Every structure is written in C-alpha cells, then in structure tokens.
Structure 1
Amino acid sequence: MIWLTWRQFRTQAMVALGVLAGVAVLFCLTGQNLHQIFDSSGIATCRSADACSAAQSAFLDRVKGDSLYPVLYFAGIGGSYLALAAMGMFWGAPLIARELEAGTFRLTWNQSTTRTRWLAVKLGVITLTGMAAAGLCSWLITWWSGPIDRADAMPGYNTQAIPNRFNPLIFGARDVLPVGCAAFALVLGITIGLLVRRTLPAMAVTFAVFVAALVVLPVTVWPHIATPQHTVTELRTSGGPGTHYDQEGSRMSVSMEVNIPGAWVLSTQTVDPAGRPFTGPVTPACAATNATPQACFASIDRLNLRQVVTYQPASRYWRFQWSETAAYLVLAGIMTAFCIRRIRLSEARPAQ
C-alpha cells in the first residue's frame, strides 16, 4: 500500500520538491546577504542604548531601502499560506475523492487490504510528507527573517514601521505553527473528499473551509491562551514623534505610536485623568484659525491625557505558537478518527 500510495502521489510530490528547491536557492542566497548586513551593522555587539538604537535604525532602514528584501519578506509569508492551502486542495482533497469518483477504490477494497489500512496508509504518507515539507519551508522563512525579527525586537525603533513576528498575519508562517497547519489542511482535504466524493467540488470546499479556519481559529483560541496585559503611559505630544491627531467638528482624537518591542498590540485608547475615553472637545488653541502645531500640541499636553495599551508581550510568543499548533493537531486528529470510523463502518458493506 505504501508503494501504491507513493506512485499515485509522486507527481504532486516531485512538483512540490522542485518548487521548494527553487525557493530555497533564492532565499538562501539573499538570506546569506541579509545575515551579513546584520552582522556588519553592529547590533549583535553594541553595548550602549544609543549605539544599539543607531545600529538598529541603520540596519532596518537599509533593509527597507532595498526593494528586494521587503518583497521577499512578504512573499515568504504569502507563499507559506498559499503552500498550505495548496496542500489541502491538491494533495488532500483528491486523495480519496478521485478514487471514489473514478471507482478505482474497488480494486483495492476487493483484495486482501482492508479499507481501514487503505485509508490509514494514505493518511500517513500524505500527512507526514506535507508536515515535513511545511516544516522545511517554515524553517527557511524563519531563518531568512531572523535578522529582521531580532532587530525589530530591540527597543528604540519605531516598531510600527515594520511588522514583528507576533503580528497575526506573520505569526502563522513562522516556526512550528505551519507544521500543525499543514496536518490540518491535508486531513481536512481528505475528510471533505471522503464526504463529497467529487474531486473538483472537494478542492473548492477545502479551500473555503481552510481560509475560514485561518481566520476563525486564532480568534477563538488566542483569547483563552493568556489574558492580555495593559500599560498606561502619559500622553505627551510636544516635540514627540509619532503623534496622531484628528479633528472633526468639536470632537478630537489624539494618540501616540506604541513602542513595545516584539509585542502584539491589541488596542490603544486615549483616556482623560478620570479614566474616561477622550473624544474632545477641541482645545481653543487647536480650534483657532491661526493655530500652530506647537500651540495645539502644548494645549493637548495640559489636558494630562493617558494612553492605555492592551497587548500580548513578546515573552508569550512560543506559548501562542505551541497552543495554536496543538489546536490544529487536535482538529486533524478528530477528523482522522472520523474518517477511519466512517471507513470501518463501510467495511461491513460490499464495495459499490
């Protein structure tokens, strides 16, 4: 059965291997240059806060100044999600659906191989291969992005200028999570193929459900992993960078950019000294027709506003990685048990 499964699957596997090899060459060559830029920036050896901040800013500005690195940075993230979806669609969904649709399953089911073993071998070969491929791809992207992640996690730089690895968009393409996500995508495709019994509809449904899971699962899992932390800081705008100010009629809003290295910032809210959300009214210095930015910001500072930031600290990154990975693996395990039970129940009936 293993050899038969490999023969049926080898075309998809060879195509994936060729794509992975090409991507690996590109990311290895550019990643080596990126690591050299990081080493030469002095970030790893700086001692004072000023020296580290200067080295950090110079490195990240150089990375953003080269059009190739930002493109590869986000291409790696998008490519990771696309590869996971493709595994579910082109590896998982057709695996059972194609045989049920074409009727080739009868040749195996009417021989000595049990239906349970037939399904278990297919599940095992495809899922383990997909998890290994996802692990290699994730390791490559994580290694390539390592210098940017380390520089971004240092205090002092504008952390909103470049997304950190705890950002929900980036989080799913790094470290161990793609491995669990690959297992989920593949078993999802197999399960839908077993139920739908038609290849193309199974592929379409797999893609839709997988995309929905990428959105829904973090929303349902993350709030239960750890209670977010809160920090309250004085809002001082005079001469400070990163001030956001907006005025609409008699209402106004003001905020400062948040700089919590490596953290996932959930929300920011400006409050007055009593702790109430601040929405105005507009100060006279800001409402005057001849108002200057300096006078406006100085009047805002005299309001003694505070900014409340809700966030998940960088120290919880791996807790979230393992928790969401475990959630994907549990779902994959449940669907695997469902498929095996469904096949076992059909063993008492002749192949149709």
Structure 2
Amino acid sequence: MSTLTSTSTPAGTEPVRRGPRLSGLNWLVWHQHRVAFWTLIALTVVAVGWMAYQRGQLTDQLNGVPGWPHPTDDDWAAKVDRSRLAWAATGLGFIPVVIGVFLGAPLVAGDLENGTAKLVASQSVSRVRWIATKLGTTALVVVPLSVVLSVMFGWWWGPVRSSPNILDWSTGPAFDNTGPVPVALTLFTLVGGVAIGMLLRRTLLSMVVTLGFAVAVQLVWSYFRLDLANVVTVTTSNGVGENAYPAVPDTAYSIDQSYLTANGDLIGWGSCNEATEKAANACLEQKQVIGWSVDYIPFSQMSSMQWFGASILLALTAAVTVFILFWGRRRLV
C-alpha cells in the first residue's frame, strides 16, 4: 500500500523561493543604484528596438539599388540615406562619457560625502569587499548593455560597411561603436570616474573632473587609433602618368602618397606641381621620379586593430581597478 507525501507548506513557514536572487551586499548595492541601473537598461532596450527598425529601413533602401548585393551603379552609396546611421553613431559615442560622469563618479564619492562609507567600515564587511561589490555589480550591468549596443550597431552598419562614403570604418563613429572598443572605452571611463570620486570625495566636483577625464580619453584615443595598424606600403616603377597609380582597395584608409625616385628616395607628390605639363614633366625627369609609393591601412585590419586597442584599454582598466582597491583598503575613510 503506497503512501502520499503532502506538498503543502506547513503553517508559519516561508515558501521556498526559486530562481536566482540578490542577497546581502549585492542586494544593497543594486538597491542603492537601482534607478541608474534600470534607466540604463530601459534606454538600451529602446535603442535596440530603434536600431532594429532602422536596419529594416536600410535593407529596404538597398533592395532598391540595381543589382544589390552586387550593385552595378558605382554611385550607389549616394542613394542611401546615411543621416540616421551617423546620428546614432554620434549618440553612441557619448555613452562612455555619460557612464563615467553619472555612474562612475558618484559610485563611491556619494558614499564618502554622505557618510555611508564610514557606516560600512564599521560593519563586518571589509572595505575592499564593499568596493569590489560596487564595481562588480556595476560592471555586470554596463558590460552586457555595451555589448548589445555594439552588436546591434554593427549589425545595422554591416550591409554598407564596405562604403567609406556612408560611414568610414577608420573614423570614430564606426571604429569606436563596434566590436570590443565601446565596451573597453566604457569600462575604462567608468573605473576612472570611480577613482576620481574616491580621491576628491565630493560628488559634484568628481562629476565635473570625470567629464574632463572622459573627454581627454576620447581625444587621446582618437589621436592614436590608427597607430594600432600595420601600415601597408605599395610601390610602382612605371612612371606617374595615367593609369600608373598603384592599385589600392577602395575600402582602405590612405595615409600618405609620395613620388619614388630611381635611388629609392621619396619626395612629396606636390614637389613637381608646376604651372604647365611640360614643366612638370621636366621636374619629374630632373628628380628621376620613376613611380609612386603609397602607404595605406586595409579594411581587413579593422578587427585586429579593435582587439589590440581594447586590450590596451582593458589593461589600463585593470590597473586603475587595482589602485581603487588598494586606496580603498588603506585610505578610504
């Protein structure tokens, strides 16, 4: 004879909760910054939906291009509306700055200013664990959102990425908003804001200084972005006349072009910019110009450049994080 086991909950006991849930310090950090976190999540959902819609609009435009996906018209890019893609790229470029100023700077500075840090230091939770939980919880929110936005923008731009006339891959709007770069830039600006907040201990002042820091990071990054590449040099020795210019891919970023002389020297391509063709030819002959030398970066290097740059930014992020934990252990309160 079998027996039945009752599955009812005994009186006076709590039902067992299923699924993941936050507790302890993780719940405290989430609860403290939930408004900022939920705002970021909501804005990301809206942005993803809007970019998905724009991708559909772009696809409709491209389907109207004769011969697409192998267009027969060399001027097909002029018939594609690039304005919304450019606006979105500009807006996404501000995300690292916004994250650093409005999330990174107040993350610890607010607790130092209102005295919460002293309360935490008096509890059983160590200061290092408290700071690590704050950084970890924030990163767990920021990183997936940055990844989603990067993937969505890359998916939107993907069908026309071969055309520099729509969005040049070597510029910030394309390079900094796809692949791992936006994630690395956002994380570096975030921890930079946290470090500034810990040092200055005032929320508003920290936000102002972090704004300057974030803008400086963007400027320095834009200056050194192309230095991440391995420059390709192509030379010719069949003169500089018509059809003598070396073949360079349409998607490549041209860095420099020079005249190549018989003894292997390079001179500026404007060195023989004479008033008449006869005088120009005489100048080229006098300087013994035999062809061209062109330096360029192929589009195929974009991905490797992004990962190389992102690894540098992540290394800097790790260094700043170590400093934050060290400072928090020694001199937080």
> How would you bin the TM-score normalised by the shorter chain?
0.7 to 0.9
- 1:263 to 1:285, Cα distance in 2 relative to 1, 3 A: closer
C-alpha offsets along residues 176-212 of structure 1, whole Å, 9 cap, x if unaligned? 2111111111111111111111112211222222222
- The offset of 1:306, in angstroms, is 4.0
* C-alpha contact (below 8 Å) 1:43/1:55 kept by paired residues: no
C-alpha offsets along residues 93-151 of structure 1, whole Å, 9 cap, x if unaligned? 000111111112222221111111110000001122111111111111111111111x4
- The offset of 1:39, in angstroms, is 4.9
* In the alignment, structure 1 residue 212 sits paired with structure 2 residue 203: no
The equivalent of 2:17 in structure 1 is: none
Q: Quick check: 268-277 or 82-91, which moved more?
A: 268-277
Q: Which of 111, 125, 131 is the aligned partner of 1:99? A: 111
Alignment of 1:203-352 (within 5 A): 203-217=207-221, 219-220=223-224, 223=227, 225-232=228-235, 235-236=240-241, 260-270=249-259, 275-278=266-269, 279-280=271-272, 282-285=274-277, 306-346=291-331, 351=333
Q: What do you get for the CA RMSD once the two structures are aligned?
A: 3.1
The equivalent of 1:170 in structure 2 is: 174
Q: Distance in 1 between matches of 2:169 and 2:74?
A: 17
Q: Distance in 1 between matches of 2:85 and 2:278?
A: 41
Structure 2 length normalisation: TM-score? 0.79
- 1:339 to 1:309, Cα distance in 2 relative to 1, 3 A: same
- The offset of 1:171, in angstroms, is 0.8
Structure 1 length normalisation: TM-score? 0.75
- The offset of 1:269, in angstroms, is 3.2
Q: Which of 123, 129, 145 is the aligned partner of 2:157? A: 145
The equivalent of 2:137 in structure 1 is: 125
Q: Which amino acid aligns with 1:87?
A: I
* C-alpha contact (below 8 Å) 2:253/2:299 kept by paired residues: yes
Q: Distance in 1 between matches of 2:241 and 2:316?
A: 47
* In the alignment, structure 1 residue 80 sits paired with structure 2 residue 92: yes
* C-alpha contact (below 8 Å) 1:263/1:312 kept by paired residues: yes
C-alpha offsets along residues 266-286 of structure 1, whole Å, 9 cap, x if unaligned? 223355666422423514358
* In the alignment, structure 1 residue 12 sits paired with structure 2 residue 1: no
Which ranges of structure 2 fall in alignment gaps of 5 or more residues? 1-24
* In the alignment, structure 1 residue 54 sits paired with structure 2 residue 72: yes
* C-alpha contact (below 8 Å) 2:272/2:284 kept by paired residues: no
Q: Which of 192, 196, 219 is the aligned partner of 2:196? A: 192
The equivalent of 1:31 in structure 2 is: 55
Q: Distance in 1 between matches of 2:290 and 2:171?
A: 28
Which ranges of structure 1 fall in alignment gaps of 5 or more residues? 45-51, 153-158, 241-255, 288-295
Q: Distance in 1 between matches of 2:316 and 2:57?
A: 40
- SS of residue in 1 equivalent to 2:108: helix
Q: Which has the larger radius of gyration?
A: 2
* C-alpha contact (below 8 Å) 2:113/2:202 kept by paired residues: yes
Q: Distance in 2 between matches of 1:122 and 1:213?
A: 23
Q: Distance in 2 between matches of 1:127 and 1:257?
A: 48
* C-alpha contact (below 8 Å) 1:166/1:262 kept by paired residues: no
**1 or 2, which has the higher helix percentage?**
1
- 1:23 to 1:169, Cα distance in 2 relative to 1, 3 A: closer
- 1:302 to 1:168, Cα distance in 2 relative to 1, 3 A: farther
- SS of residue in 2 equivalent to 1:265: strand
- SS of residue in 2 equivalent to 1:276: strand
C-alpha offsets along residues 280-333 of structure 1, whole Å, 9 cap, x if unaligned? 35143589xxxxxxxx9x999999774432122222222111111111111110
Q: Which amino acid aligns with 1:314?
A: F
Percent pairwise identity = 24
- 1:302 to 1:144, Cα distance in 2 relative to 1, 3 A: farther
- 1:29 to 1:217, Cα distance in 2 relative to 1, 3 A: closer
Q: How many residues align?
A: 301
